[in-house]
Amino acid sequence: MERRDPVVVVTGASSGLGNACATYLAKRGYKVYGTSRNPGSYTKKADEFFELIRMDVTDDESVKAAIAEVLSREGRIDILVCNAGMGVSGAVEDSSMDEIRLQMETNFFGVVRCVKAVLPSMRAAGKGTIAVFSSLAGLIGMPFQAFYSASKFALEGFVEALRYEIRPFGLSAFLLEPGDFRTGFTDARRKAALASGSAYERWYEAAMGVQVRDERAGHDPLEAAKRLETLLTRRRHRIRYSVGPAFERLSAMLKRLLPGSAFEYGYRSYYKLP
């Protein structure tokens, strides 16, 4: 029989974790289509090993067009990797509603759009896998990244519910929850403007200083890519898999085990908050 390489769509594949995953999967023999809002804008070729096509996850028609393009070329999509995302930092009180909406439109509704676009073809084929990049911040609320955490918490519930709906059709979905990795995410994160004389400025600078330090000391994105590929070879999936620095993964376990007040005390202390 003719060998058919799995067809994969990886969103947000122009850089960071998405690029690492798309590149690694392509090297491992998968037929990979990466997506980007503007694939022609990169001076350094981001898609040396895979094809980069246009998709803006905040736009319904853009998502539908990109998925339709892959289906027209390949006839199927075996795997969807939802990675596209962005971050907004700032105090809740200082964050504008436009910034909050953008955070949710990209990180949560962007995943919803992509999943809805691939489900009809996967369901018709009776097979397909959906891997969604959440975050350990989807298990633990991050100070001064409330809306980033909210978007990831939303993904946790979304995928948990989705699994029940798609299982009868032979489809699978799971969450990959990374800790800190060395990517361009840190520099690309939007900062909500501190209100003049903001009461939060001191604590914002303290907490974000710790977060930026940890991000810059994070793991190599290739680690996440290898973990993803290992999971994609399995026939059955648990709902959640964490990846990244051990002490960050441990913190998620401690949240479940420790009394709430004890965990909050340790978390506040770590981020230099009163």
Point out the catalytic residue in the list 24, 33, 148, 200. 148
Point out the catalytic residue in the list 36, 89, 95, 134. 134
Q: Is 148 a catalytic residue?
A: yes
> Is 2 part of a structural domain of the chain?
no
- CATH code of the domain in which 241 resides: 3.40.50.720
> Is 105 part of a structural domain of the chain?
yes
195-244 pLDDT per residue, tens: 667 899 999 999 999 999 999 999 999 999 999 999 999 989 999 999 99
> Is 227 part of a structural domain of the chain?
yes
> Is 27 part of a structural domain of the chain?
yes
Q: Is 152 a catalytic residue?
A: yes
The confidence band for 1, taking pLDDT boundaries of 50, 70 and 90, is: very low
Global pTM reads 0.94
> Is 115 part of a structural domain of the chain?
yes
Q: Is 36 a catalytic residue?
A: no
* Per-position DSSP letters for the chain, written without gaps between them: ----PPEEEESS-SSHHHHHHHHHHHHTT-EEEEEES-GGG-SS-S-SSSEEEE--TT-HHHHHHHHHHHHHHHS---EEEE-----EES-TTT--HHHHHHHHIIIIIHHHHHHHHHHHHHHHHT-EEEEEE--GGGTSPPTT-HHHHHHHHHHHHHHHHHHHHHGGGTEEEEEEEE--B-STHHHH-EEPPPPTT-TTHHHHHHHHHHHHHHHHT-B-HHHHHHHHHHHHT-SS--SEEEES-HHHHHHHHHHHHS-HHHHHHHHHHHTT--
Looking at the structure of the chain, the number of domains it has is: 1
Q: Which domain holds residue 179?
A: 7-270
> Is 1 part of a structural domain of the chain?
no
**What is the overall mean pLDDT for the chain?**
94
pLDDT at 221: 97
94-131 pLDDT per residue, tens: 999 999 999 999 999 999 999 999 999 999 999 999 99
Point out the catalytic residue in the list 89, 152, 242, 251. 152
Point out the catalytic residue in the list 14, 36, 135, 149. 14
